[in-house]
């Protein structure tokens, strides 16, 4: 089973994603970038990452990952209309604009 790390400061979204993804994947949760970094000591197969978070935000976490050369696929999520541009500038290939269907997310996760 693939291990997915879900990072978002919105608790409801995190919980629901956990509920929806929990049957097919092993889901780990984090509410901000620092929390996520801690969790990344253990291996994961994908990181689902919100852009806007207090503390270490999305772009910050991506930078940290690159700095520590942690190679892990990142999927960006955001309600921000400039998501595509942000993804491109961060060098992240996969992104999902909020609100999204769970099927879309599952599609990306399957292809990874």
- Contact positions toward other proteins, by CB under 8 A? 9-10, 12-13, 16-17, 19-20, 52-54, 79-81, 98-102
Show Cβ contacts of residue 79 under 8 Å, excluding neighbours closer than 6 positions: 52, 97, 98, 99
- Report the C-alpha gap between 96 and 78 in whole angstroms: 7
Nearest distance from residue 69's CB to other proteins, in Å? 29
Could you tell me the smallest distance in angstroms from the CB atom of residue 102 to other proteins? 5
Q: How far apart are CA 51 and CA 87, in angstroms?
A: 10
Q: Please identify, using beta-carbon distances, which residue of 68 and 85 lies nearer to other proteins.
A: 85
Min dist. Cβ of residue 77 to other proteins (A):
8
Q: Would you say 5 or 17 has its CB closer to other proteins?
A: 17
Give every CB contact of residue 32 below 8 A, 6+ residues apart in sequence: 7, 9, 53, 54, 55, 56, 57
Nearer to other proteins, 16 or 68 (CB): 16
Beta strands in 18-73 (DSSP E): 26-30, 46-50
* Shortest Å distance, C-beta 52 to other proteins: 6
CB closer to other proteins out of 68 and 100: 100
């Amino acid at each position: 089973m693939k291990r997915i790390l879900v990072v978002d400061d919105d608790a409801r979204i995190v919980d629901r994603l956990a509920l929806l993804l929990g049957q097919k994947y092993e889901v780990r949760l984090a509410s901000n970038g620092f929390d996520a970094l801690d969790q990344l000591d253990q291996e994961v197969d994908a990181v689902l990452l919100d852009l806007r978070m207090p503390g270490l935000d999305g772009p910050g976490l991506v930078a940290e990952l690159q700095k520590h050369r942690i190679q892990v696929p990142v999927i960006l999520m955001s309600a921000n209309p400039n998501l595509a541009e942000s993804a491109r500038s961060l060098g992240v290939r996969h992104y999902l604009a909020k609100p999204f269907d769970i099927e879309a997310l599952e599609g990306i996760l399957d292809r990874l």
